Amino acid sequence: MDPNIASALAEMDKINVSRLEHPGPSALEPASCRFLAAFIRATGARKVLEFGSGFSSLMIARELDGEEGNYLLSIDTSARYSGLAREGVESSESRAKAEFRVAPLRPRFYGMRLLLSYRLPKGLLEALGPFDLVLIDPPHHEYGCESVLYDAFPALAPGGYVILDDANREESEKKYLRSWQAGYGDAIRPVFLEGIGNGLVVIEKLDEAGPAPLPAADSLLVSLQTLRSAGRSLFRREE
Ligand SMILES: C[S@@+](CC[C@H](N)C(=O)[O-])C[C@H]1O[C@@H](n2cnc3c(N)ncnc32)[C@H](O)[C@@H]1O
């Protein structure tokens, strides 16, 4: 097994996740928080990008604290939860440099696939990277996840890692992972940790290559699902 993953698995139980602080099911599961923190320690990650601001932002900021050149860029669709996550980090004892951005999801074509994608200035992630670690934990209801790797991959350092949360879900994250594997092939090495929280996949970036043309077979269905999700999000009030 990857030595960083093995080390994080061996050490994660030593990480404290306060039940008083943890906000409950909306946030990264406590076990996943422990793994995340232990993984940052194991890899020595200094620059972290996350999609889905919240309690995980605080866990990351605490680990980055005190590291020279540390930086967290946290992106969320919700101004409210982005603000709460920022307040949580700023009022903590962490001295990590953390930046919070709000970016709505909008449909965008990736090859023949219409996917929901975070609306960010072109080239922003590459300009602020390269990142050592990307955490993908976006809102459960918006299906914005497949595009995230396509957007974040160029900003991820070679040898860097992606952690995908909720990896046990058949109809979403497992499907995204299959598309990513089809597109990136040997340029990524995913390791499935189904027993941690709601399941995590840790993906190591081995090569800059990719993605190859994305699978066309299910593009129509995926694109229709994207249009449905985009339509629903128009009627969902800001949480
Ligand atoms: C799956 S949650 C996880 C967010 C974050 N990674 C965490 O650990 O809290 C995804 C979304 O929930 C929203 N959120 C964040 N904190 C929240 C809270 N305390 N209660 C409800 N929703 C929250 C944010 O808009 C975020 O994108």
Taking residue 82's Cβ as centre, other Cβ atoms within 10 Å add up to: 20
Please give the distance, rounded to the nearest whole angstrom, from the Cα atom of residue 21 to the centre of ligand 1: 14
Give which of 9, 94, 19 is closest to 59, Cα–Cα.
94
- Domain range enclosing 54: 45-235
79 touches ligand 1 (CB under 6 Å): no
Question: pTM of the predicted model, to two decimals?
Answer: 0.95
Maximum mean pLDDT: which of 9-18, 144-153, 219-228 = 9-18
pLDDT at 143: 65
28 touches ligand 1 (CB under 6 Å): yes
Is 70 exceeded by the pLDDT of residue 141?
A: no
What gap in Å lies between CA 95 and CA 98, rounded to an integer? 9
pLDDT per residue as tens digits for the range 31-71: 999 999 999 999 999 999 999 999 999 999 999 987 788 99
139 touches ligand 1 (CB under 6 Å): yes
pLDDT at 218: 86
Residue 126, sorted as left (phi over 0), alpha (psi -120 to 50) or beta, turns out to be: alpha
The answer to whether 50 and 77 have CB atoms below 8 angstroms apart is no
164 touches ligand 1 (CB under 6 Å): no
pLDDT at 171: 85
pLDDT at 180: 94
Q: State yes or no: cis peptide before 30, omega within 30 of 0.
A: no
pLDDT at 65: 86
Asked if the structure places residue 189 within a domain, the reply is: yes
Taking residue 91's Cβ as centre, other Cβ atoms within 10 Å add up to: 9
Please give the distance, rounded to the nearest whole angstrom, from the Cα atom of residue 127 to the centre of ligand 1: 26
Asked if the structure places residue 68 within a domain, the reply is: yes
Give which of 118, 52, 50 is closest to 81, Cα–Cα.
52
Q: Which residues pair with 4 in a beta bridge?
A: none
Is 80 exceeded by the pLDDT of residue 15?
A: yes
Give me the count of residues in the chain. Answer: 239
Asked if the structure places residue 27 within a domain, the reply is: no
Asked if the structure places residue 200 within a domain, the reply is: yes
Reading the block at residue 130, the tokens are: 């390269």
pLDDT per residue as tens digits for the range 169-222: 988 899 999 999 999 999 999 999 999 999 999 999 999 987 887 777 888 999
Q: Which residue has the higher pLDDT, 79 or 212?
A: 79
Asked if the structure places residue 6 within a domain, the reply is: no
Domain count, the chain: 1
- Write the CATH number for 205: 3.40.50.150
199 touches ligand 1 (CB under 6 Å): no
CA dihedral of residues 149, 151, 155, 160 (deg, nearest 10): 0
